């Protein structure tokens, strides 16, 4: 996504990827974004600040503009404002490995976002931050990862203060997943614009439905 020195590359025609960074209070949302965009770790941020930051980067040879929304804290899925939910192409849900409540917030957020956007296949990455404070962890990173995989969420263990590489990799993973979703959508719309292909697919689907119906009838008649 970036060159070897993690310099963000500026270039001409770009597609946009909007990423909303959500999570509980003090989990490190601003620290992660600043680390990603500037390569630096800064100790304190204005907690009221809500802003969008942009950068141009290449992903697999194509140029993208990544817009990152730093949101103020959301303590539960019910407090979530609608704005970032429908603005984003992908979500980075941050929790702190030293704050169990922040993990529960992320679990609630996954449920809320799935309900709001699931049919669109919007990628979600759960970012377990503050991995450097290993002596203070209140949960097992392995268990968090297992939960995420059960929810079809991406997972990354990161540290904004000590491990910049982990932050770059997490954003890269998320952007690549967005690109895969875009590609799938483009392929679908290409297919739907070609009546002959669409008709072929429809016939194939009807035959499949028919076969399933027959199988179901056979099963129920032998019960």
Ligand X SMILES: Nc1nc2c(ncn2[C@@H]2O[C@H](COP(=O)(O)OP(=O)(O)OP(=O)(O)O)[C@@H](O)[C@H]2O)c(=O)[nH]1
Choose one: 28-36, 82-90, 107-115, 144-152; the region binding ligand X (CB under 6 A). Answer: 28-36
Query: b/e map of 182-205 (b: 16 or more CB within 10 Å)?
Result: eeeeeeeeeeeeeeeeeeeeeeee
Q: Which is nearer to ligand X, 28 or 84 (CB)?
A: 28
Quick one: which of 69, 130, 177, 179 contacts ligand X (CB under 6 A)? 130
Quick one: which of 19, 20, 28, 144 contacts ligand X (CB under 6 A)? 28
Q: Helix or strand or coil: residue 168? A: helix
Helix axes 164-192, 195-221, angle to 10 degrees: 100
133 belongs to the binding site for ligand X (CB under 6 A): yes
- What x-and-dash track marks residues 159-178 binding ligand X by CB under 6 A? xxx-----------------
Question: Interaction with ligand X in 41-100: which residues (CB under 6 A)?
Answer: 43-45, 47, 72-73
Choose one: 4-12, 38-46, 114-122, 197-205; the region binding ligand X (CB under 6 A). Answer: 38-46
Nearest to 63 by CA among 7, 132, 13: 13
Nearest to 90 by CA among 113, 59, 68, 123: 123
31 belongs to the binding site for ligand X (CB under 6 A): yes
Residues 6+ apart with CB under 8 A from 86: 116, 117
Least CB distance to ligand X at residue 149 (A)? 23
Residues 6+ apart with CB under 8 A from 54: 65, 66, 67, 68
Q: Which is nearer to ligand X, 75 or 147 (CB)?
A: 75
Quick one: which of 17, 19, 27, 170 contacts ligand X (CB under 6 A)? 27
Q: Are 39 and 171 in contact (CB under 8 A)?
A: no
Positions in the binding site for ligand X (CB under 6 A): 23, 25-31, 43-45, 47, 72-73, 129-130, 132-133, 159-161
């Amino acid at each position: 996504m970036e060159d070897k020195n993690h310099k963000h590359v500026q270039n001409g025609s770009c597609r946009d990827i909007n990423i909303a960074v959500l999570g509980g209070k003090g989990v490190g949302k601003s620290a992660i974004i600043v680390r990603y965009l500037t390569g630096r770790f800064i100790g304190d941020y204005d907690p009221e600040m809500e802003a969008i930051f942009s950068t141009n980067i290449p992903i697999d040879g194509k140029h993208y503009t990544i817009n990152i929304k730093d949101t103020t804290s959301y303590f539960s899925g019910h407090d979530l404002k609608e704005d970032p939910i429908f603005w984003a192409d992908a979500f980075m849900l941050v929790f702190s490995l030293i704050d169990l409540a922040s993990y529960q917030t992320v679990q609630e957020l996954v449920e809320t976002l799935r309900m709001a956007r699931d049919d669109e296949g919007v990628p979600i990455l759960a970012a377990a931050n503050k991995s450097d404070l290993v002596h203070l962890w209140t949960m097992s990173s392995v268990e968090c990862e297992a939960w995420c995989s059960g929810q079809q969420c991406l997972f990354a263990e990161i540290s904004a203060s000590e491990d910049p590489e982990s932050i770059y990799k997490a954003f890269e993973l998320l952007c690549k997943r967005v690109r895969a979703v875009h590609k799938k959508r483009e392929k679908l719309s290409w297919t739907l614009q070609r009546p002959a292909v669409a008709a072929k697919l429809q016939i194939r689907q009807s035959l499949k439905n028919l076969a399933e119906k027959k199988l179901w009838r056979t099963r129920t008649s032998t019960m």
